Structure 1
């Protein structure tokens, strides 16, 4: 009840407080700008999607370039104005990726977002392993569907495998930063990897 971001989310019509994490990341690094194509993985209930539609102008409410936002989640969730919502769909499945490619009409995305987390067991080591596994799934997806020079934002919980994940990101991206936005709760071990400058996949 004392969380200022919960109240702020209500005031600004965001579906949950996590919207402010992405807003704070963007404020510092300007990863979302009008005209970009964004894919939000594990998007429900849709607060990151709301931020992405506003910042890319995919709802065409402002003058200037109009972006595209695609939001995917296993759960069904309410539409977000300016986004193509793919509810009841698992982004790791080939069929979902084929659907996305059709919607993208052969184009690729500028930014992949993943605020996904597994259901917490309360056992830190298990939870860390599970979220790292999800992070690799998001990375694998991003490698297939991101434009060269594109960006990936992915959440993890801190633990022993984070450093190796960062090393693997550096194989594919020019620059990787570890970010803990101000809106992250003090007791949380979560952090975000911001990987920029996708190098593309070299075909031998």
Structure 2
């Protein structure tokens, strides 16, 4: 029997009774109405609200880490494009950034984004364009010149409404994030990034395979089935 993340039965009449319908309001596009209705009926959105996470994306990194185990206590993590902060929240708890797990090493979380992000316990967050000249040196300075164990990115370019253009834009972001990871990762480190399926990701895969021992493409359960997004998880950085 299929169940949602909050444990409710997703089959049969019970699910239809729970569905929230949104009326089209004057001035609101039909696409916006569909998005709002999907949000209101998304079990991961409801679970994020109940668990205190800043967005449903928190469960994506949670599920990826459950499978590949890269957010270990004591790990040094860089979160690129960290707004609104859901990935930072998950990472901070798992690497013991606040030191609340006695006997476990204390990790660090460094989050950066183009826009301001509300503070998150155990995380150091800065407003930064990571693609700007010297950004990798700035990041290293914030990390006291230490290398990172994990570089992760859930970034997406602003939608243009043209599928192929959006695909190329996010692949360009992923490639830039990967290049930064090559500069700041410690040997054996992990790179995690969102990509969109669309054909141009092949070159990114080839690039990562030259620098990491293993490269996997994953669509975690928290990623919507109708979305073209997937995640690349590259482990064992060669240094």
Residue 69 in structure 1 maps to residue 112 in structure 2: no
One of 133, 138, 144 as aligned partner of 1:105:
144
- Computing the radius of gyration over CA atoms, which structure comes out larger, 1 or 2? 2
* TM alignment of 1:1-204, pairs within 5 A: 1-63=40-102, 64-87=104-127, 89-200=128-239
TM-score, with structure 1 as normaliser: 0.95
What are the superposed Cα offsets for residues 38-72 of structure 1, whole Å, 9 maximum, x if unpaired? Answer: 00000000000101101100011111110000000
What secondary structure, in the 3-state scheme, does the structure 2 residue paired with 1:49 have? helix
Give the distance between the partners of 1:125 and 1:192, measured in 2 at CA.
18
Residue 104 of structure 1 deviates from its aligned partner by 1.5
CA contact (8 A) 2:140 2:146 kept: yes
Give the distance between the partners of 2:139 and 2:193, measured in 1 at CA.
19
What secondary structure, in the 3-state scheme, does the structure 2 residue paired with 1:94 have? coil
Give the distance between the partners of 1:152 and 1:177, measured in 2 at CA.
11
TM-score, with structure 2 as normaliser: 0.81
Aligned length, in residue pairs: 199
Question: Looking at both structures, which has the greater relative contact order when contacts are Cα pairs under 8 Å and sequence separation is at least 6?
Answer: 1
- Structure 2 gap ranges (5+): 1-39
Residue 95 of structure 1 deviates from its aligned partner by 4.3
CA contact (8 A) 2:136 2:183 kept: no
